[in-house]
Structure 1
Amino acid sequence: MTPDQAAPRLHGLHQGRLVSGIPAFQLLWARLSGWHWLTRITALPGLHGLASAGYDHVLAPLLYRLHLRRRRQSSRSE
């Protein structure tokens, strides 16, 4: 996976398996002190789908656009 392919979503490796989106966040939150509760909440059946849809359709595209904007600005200043 190239950096440009990886940039639109959060990715992680778990037991040799590539995960992305909410499952990648869950892996991260499970290992951060004080964030375990988000793992449990986003694992609930109704909330998992809602969190995944919110990330896939709102948050990930927004973060990716901000990333692209920062890249353009940093390339102009060089």
Structure 2
Amino acid sequence: MYFDGSCPLCSLEIGYYASCEGADGLRFVDVSDPDAQLAEGLSQDKAMARFHVQLPDGTLVSGANGFVAVWQALPKWRWLARVAQLPGAVQVMEVAYRMFLPLRPILSRIASRLGAKPKKHSDTTV
């Protein structure tokens, strides 16, 4: 899973996912680290702009589909992955995610003021 570790909000969310049962099967890559190893076809700019997940078969998914892939891997969140399988659910989630993206910098600043911290590059792979 590729995330923006320079974003306090993103780091808070990824830290939560990393603490969940099943997270030991996930790899967390901070794409704000210039030395981060990215999937083939994924640039740092693309990775910084949008959430991406590389599936075990090498397929790269992003946005709502990326979150669904993470939820499928975490037992506590599988119920939400099942909800996402309902007709039209992922499309609605994708629209919501695209609406969130322009707000992310503002929400990240708020999260930072509330104490959320960006990841240190040494903490990038969990």
5+ long unaligned stretches in structure 2: 1-41, 113-126
Aligned to 2:73: 31
Are the equivalent residues in 1 in contact too, given 2:65–2:90 (CA < 8 A)?
no
Q: Normalized per residue, which structure has more helix?
A: 1
SS in 1 for 2:54: strand
Out of 43, 47, 51, the position equivalent to 1:6 is 47
Superposition CA RMSD, Å? 2.4
Structure 1 residue 33: Cα displacement: 2.5
5+ long unaligned stretches in structure 1: 71-78
Normalised by the length of structure 2, the TM-score is: 0.46
Cα deviation 1:6-56 (Å, max 9, x = unaligned): 112110111111110111101101111210011111221122221111112
Normalised by the length of structure 1, the TM-score is: 0.70
What letter corresponds to residue 23 of structure 1 in structure 2? N
Distance 1:10 1:46 in 2: 20
Are the equivalent residues in 1 in contact too, given 2:52–2:66 (CA < 8 A)?
yes
SS in 2 for 1:34: helix
Q: Percent identity?
A: 34
Relative contact order higher in (CA < 8 Å, ≥ 6 apart): 2
Distance 1:42 1:61 in 2: 23
SS in 1 for 2:68: helix
Distance 1:40 1:68 in 2: 29
Distance 1:50 1:44 in 2: 11
Are the equivalent residues in 2 in contact too, given 1:8–1:61 (CA < 8 A)?
no
Aligned pairs for 1:10-25 within 5 A: 10-14=51-55, 15-25=57-67
Q: Does residue 108 of structure 2 align to residue 49 of structure 1?
A: no
